[in-house]
């Protein structure tokens, strides 16, 4: 009788267990795209930091699991094609190189339009991202491209000039063809007969090697990664400044279908990724200079007098940037003052006051 009762109780318990609804973990697919190769700093850290951190935070509740599909190095889009790729839904999440899209994303040019202010990637990344959250312009621009802005990225401590022949002053750049990307080509406008040639990071080696250009503007970490010393063994240490060039965005249609918990995790991790990548950029700064020298490069420091002359000889591209936004109905002048104020509060005052006439 006791055995029968035990069996009955056991059967009832099992029936109850079967009847209870089970909570299944929802799996969410995410296609990540960038046209740059996996060895590029920001791409590598998206794999090594962003994705594992999102996974870790979602695992704390166990409600959702991301199924990541990473596509880099041109498998879906080229470096210039990430913005359009995310817009069209070729990828769900992407790292947009914003300097390629000055007409569609003009507000993203804020750091690039204020050279000779700060060579601290962490300070610039934080200041630009805060501007994006305090003023609607950056979000509005990405919204027009069917995207949701997550965070700004700064992957370079400062632009320098790498040349195939010896340089030690601004005068040595006169008459040279210099490769650059986006707004930094305007840095050359005050240098006599210097000609800017548009290109991308993956193009610079060949551009200098073939003689298409004499020099290229890039940063030491990229120079060591892409072995620029082989073709441009002379670095003019001008400290043109750190620039925001990367922004993590999400396709707006994909974003609309995400659960709030996943959205919150992506937003939070994007900010941590911003600081993480900027921190690595600064950690690599000196080591990259050393690597460049080990690869055969020579570094010559530009004098303070030459830096000031270069900065003051340029057109005021910062005010032009602000006026462009003003004319489109955005508070460009206020954004410029707020941005420079944030950097000043962080201890960085420029060689030139870009808010002055």
Residues 296/105, Cβ–Cβ less than 8 Å: no
Torsion angles phi and psi, residue 37, rounded to 5: -70, 165
Residues 145/83, Cβ–Cβ less than 8 Å: yes
Instruction: Pick the closest to residue 57 from 261, 247, 274 (CA basis).
Output: 261
Q: What's the pLDDT score for residue 194?
A: 97
Please count the other Cβ atoms lying within 10 Å of the Cβ belonging to residue 205: 18
* Stretch (H or E) spanning 179: strand 177-180
Residues 301/168, Cβ–Cβ less than 8 Å: no
**SS3 of 27, please?**
strand
**SS3 of 242, please?**
coil
Q: What's the pLDDT score for residue 14?
A: 44
For the packed helices 260-294 and 51-61, what is the interaxial angle rounded to 10 degrees? 150
Q: What's the pLDDT score for residue 272?
A: 98
| Cα–Cα distance, 285 to 290 (Å, whole number) | 9
DSSP strand pairing (246-251 vs 93-97): antiparallel
Q: What's the pLDDT score for residue 201?
A: 87
* Residue found under tokens 């420029």: 350
Q: Give Rg (Cα) of the chain.
A: 25
Strand-pairing partners, residue 247, are 96, 152
* Stretch (H or E) spanning 288: helix 260-294
User: pLDDT tens per residue, the chain (357 residues)?
Assistant: 444 434 444 444 444 444 444 456 899 999 999 999 999 999 999 999 999 999 999 999 999 999 999 999 999 999 999 999 999 999 999 999 998 899 999 999 999 999 999 999 999 999 999 999 999 999 999 999 999 999 999 988 899 999 999 999 999 999 999 999 878 999 999 999 999 999 988 899 999 999 999 999 999 989 998 999 999 999 999 999 999 999 999 999 999 999 999 999 999 999 999 999 999 999 988 899 999 999 999 999 999 999 999 999 999 999 999 999 999 999 999 999 999 999 999 999 999 999 986
Which residues, 6+ apart, have CB-to-CB distance to 245 below 8 Å? Answer: 97, 98, 99, 112, 153, 154, 155, 156, 182
* Stretch (H or E) spanning 150: strand 147-153
Residues 224/292, Cβ–Cβ less than 8 Å: yes
**SS3 of 95, please?**
strand
Predicted model pTM: 0.87
């Amino acid at each position: 009788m006791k055995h029968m009762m035990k069996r009955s109780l056991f059967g009832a318990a099992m029936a109850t267990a079967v009847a209870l609804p089970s909570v299944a973990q929802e799996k969410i697919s995410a296609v990540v795209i960038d046209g740059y190769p996996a060895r590029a700093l920001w791409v590598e850290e998206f794999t090594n930091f962003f994705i594992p951190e999102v996974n870790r935070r979602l695992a704390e509740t166990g409600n959702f699991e991301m199924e990541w599909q990473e596509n880099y190095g041109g498998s879906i889009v080229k470096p210039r094609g990430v913005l359009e790729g995310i817009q069209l839904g070729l990828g769900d999440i992407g790292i947009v190189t914003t300097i390629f899209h000055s007409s569609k994303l003009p507000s993203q040019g804020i750091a690039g339009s204020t050279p000779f202010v700060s060579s601290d990637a962490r300070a610039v990344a934080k200041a630009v991202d805060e501007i994006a959250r305090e003023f609607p312009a950056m979000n509005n621009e990405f919204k027009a491209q069917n995207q949701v802005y997550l965070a700004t990225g700064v992957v370079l401590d400062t632009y320098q000039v790498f040349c195939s022949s010896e340089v030690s002053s601004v005068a040595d750049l006169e008459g040279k063809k210099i490769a650059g990307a986006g707004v930094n080509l305007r840095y050359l406008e005050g240098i006599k007969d210097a000609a800017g040639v548009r290109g991308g990071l993956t193009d610079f080696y060949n551009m200098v090697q073939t003689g298409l250009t004499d020099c290229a503007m890039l940063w030491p970490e990229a120079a060591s990664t892409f072995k620029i010393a082989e073709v441009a063994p002379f670095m003019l240490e001008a400290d043109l400044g750190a620039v925001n060039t990367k922004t993590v965005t999400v396709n707006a249609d994909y974003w609309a279908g995400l659960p709030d918990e996943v959205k919150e995790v992506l937003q939070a991790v994007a900010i941590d990724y911003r600081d993480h990548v900027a921190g690595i950029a600064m950690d690599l700064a000196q080591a990259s200079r050393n690597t460049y020298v080990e690869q055969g490069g020579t570094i010559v420091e530009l004098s303070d007098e030459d830096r000031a002359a270069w900065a003051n000889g340029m057109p005021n591209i910062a005010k032009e940037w602000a006026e462009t936004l003003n004319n489109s109905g955005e508070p460009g002048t206020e954004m410029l003052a707020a941005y420079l104020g944030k950097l000043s509060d962080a201890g960085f005052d420029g060689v030139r006051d870009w808010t002055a006439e």
